[in-house]
Amino acid sequence: MFKSFTLNKYNSLQIFQFLRFGAFFLISILLAKITYYQYSGGYGTLIISRYEMLLLLSGSLTWFWVSSITNTLIPFYNSSSEEKQKRILFNAFVILTFFSLLAGIAAFVTGYFNPEDKDLYQMFAIVIFLNTPSYLADYIFYLKEKYRSLIIWGSLTFLAQILLLCWPIFNRQTLNLAINLWLILSLVKFNYTIILLMKYSTITIHTRLILDFMKKVTPFMFSILLAGSMDYINSYIVSYYFSKVDFAIFRYASKELPIFLILANSLSNIYSGEIANLNKEGQLEEGLKRLKQSSRRLMRWLFPATILLIFTSKYLFQLAYNKDLVEGYQVFNIYLLLIISRMIFPQTVIMGLMKNRVFYLISTNYLIINLILSFWFVQLGLGLRGIAYATVISYIIEKIMLVIYCKTQGVDVKKYTPIGELILYSIITIAAYVLSLNINLPDLASF
């Protein structure tokens, strides 16, 4: 008999992140199909380009601080007393709301620099302000071990998001209407987050706690701002050097398969808290051992899946997207190579040890290297593929620097990474990519 499936702290966050990224991935597929059949003359691709520009704006303004706050929240919460944990939840919400207000103002002002879409940008600014603080609801469910509630919450909100964004476009309504409906959903999520806080937190602002928390957040925040912002800078480079259609192609092609990104990121989030807990109890070696075991299990099916995708991505793009976006599979295949560096988790160890200040230096180097390579490869005529190559190379260099830092802290890479298997899988994956460049795969029949 099969054991019944049980949600726990390891799989619940992964499932939830899959729902989140899966929702955006499904929206991209639906919009590609809907706009292709409902609009003519390439107008549908322009709608996609406008929507992707909104996502680019939102990500540019929020990603670095949302990620740093939520990633720091788990180990910070787990290493605190029960009474302090209640104060942490509300004060984390205060911090998120403050930054959301700044991001919303920035998005509102951006509308004045885009007069054709001024109303769209300014309505989306309100979405940013209301929707971003509601991310805390996800982590309240997770930290309070309400795993079933977390999955139900994610299923309902992400399904609503898909419907409210895609249904108006299907009915040939404007993108503005879709964003207005998203605004209503954001208001509902914001209010529900407040209800959760009233139940699980102490509603009091603690300045000292906020300052203490931000001391842990700030190094990680600037790390993501410097390193993670390159994904957004690449998109702005494409929008400057290439056409709007090329911009849409790049935005679709540069999206890693959600399940890969989710599993890697959620494993990192989970074990940063696990290492923080065990290190507090003097059992750091046990935490590193568990991280190594989990990363080994993950790479044993993510690498084979990556190799399969390298040879089938052309057909997946033909099936999922419209003909204007199909050539993006070549860029997508390059981004698949990021799996090599994503399967090394020195950043998880560093966050678990609360040694986040090193992210300043390493991320600055990553940003500089990526910028130089991106402009260089574009000038060499490599086009969109050149930007993708620059990202893969720079990300590998960043992980090497983080591994070296861990070594200086007495944590050798062999303690948290199955090196032999990683090298073997990496060689096979790179060989598969090179082989795919030299094989002329036939097209699917038109549909």
Q: Quick one: 186 and 66 in the same domain? A: yes
Dihedral over alpha carbons 422, 423, 424, 428 (to 10 degrees): 100
Whether residues 118 and 63 fall in one domain:
yes
Q: Are residues 201 and 228 in the same domain?
A: no
Q: Residue 30's domain spans which residues?
A: 1-205
Q: Which pLDDT belongs to residue 227? A: 60
Residue 254, φ and ψ in degrees, nearest 5: -85, 5
Whether residues 237 and 310 share a domain: the answer is yes
Per-residue pLDDT of the chain (447 residues; tens, 9 = 90+): 345 668 877 778 778 887 888 888 888 888 888 887 777 656 777 888 888 889 888 888 888 888 889 888 887 888 778 888 899 999 999 999 999 999 999 999 988 888 888 889 999 999 999 999 999 999 999 999 899 999 999 999 999 999 999 999 998 888 899 999 999 999 999 999 999 999 999 899 999 999 998 988 887 777 677 666 777 788 888 888 887 778 888 887 777 665 677 678 778 877 887 887 787 777 888 888 888 998 899 999 899 999 999 998 888 888 877 777 778 888 899 999 999 998 999 988 887 887 767 877 887 888 889 889 988 998 888 888 999 999 899 989 989 999 999 898 888 889 889 999 999 999 999 999 999 988 877 766 544
What pLDDT, on the 0 to 100 scale, is given for residue 401? 92
153/291 same-domain check: no
Q: Give the number of domains in the chain.
A: 2
Residue 262, CA distances (Å) to 256, 259, 268, 270 in order: 10, 5, 10, 12
Question: What predicted TM-score, i.e. pTM, was given to this entire model?
Answer: 0.72
In terms of domains, do 179 and 258 share one? no
Please give the backbone phi and psi of residue 202, each rounded to the nearest 5 degrees, phi first: -95, 115
Among 158, 175, 205, give the residue marking a domain's end. Answer: 205
Q: Are residues 140 and 224 in the same domain?
A: no
Task: Report in angstroms the alpha-carbon separations of 416 from 342, 345, 422.
Answer: 13, 7, 12
Q: Are residues 129 and 170 in the same domain?
A: yes
- Whether residue 191 lies inside any domain: the answer is yes
* Confidence at residue 13, expressed as pLDDT on a 0 to 100 scale: 78
What is each CA distance from 15 to 12, 36, 149, 329, 411, in whole angstroms?
5, 31, 12, 26, 30
User: What pLDDT, on the 0 to 100 scale, is given for residue 2?
Assistant: 41
DSSP string, 241-281: HS-HHHHHHHHHHT---HHHHHHHHHHHHHHHHHHHHHHHT
213 part of a folded domain: no
Q: How many Cα neighbours within 13 Å face the side chain of 75?
A: 30
Number of CB atoms found within 10 A of residue 207's CB: 8
Residue 1: per-residue pLDDT: 39
How far apart are alpha carbons 245 and 249 in whole angstroms?
6
Q: What is the DSSP string of 233-249?
A: HHHHHHHHHS-HHHHHH
Among the candidates 205, 235, 259, a domain finishes at 205
Task: Please report whether residue 447 resides in a domain.
Answer: no
In a domain, 336, yes or no: yes
Task: Specify whether 152 is located in the same domain as 245.
Answer: no
* Domain contains 210: no
Quick one: tokens of 122? Answer: 């300014």
Say whether both 24 and 167 belong to one domain.
yes
Query: Does residue 20 sit within a domain?
Result: yes
Q: Which two tokens stand for residue 21?
A: 């990224």
Q: Based on the fold, state whether residues 183 and 245 are members of the same structural domain.
A: no
Instruction: Compute the distance between CA of residue 323 and CA of residue 155 in angstroms, rounded to an integer.
Output: 31
Residue 115 and residue 249 share a domain: no
* pLDDT value, residue 258: 58
- Name the domain boundary from 172, 205, 238: 205
Task: Give CA angle at 68 (394, 86), nearest 5°.
Answer: 160
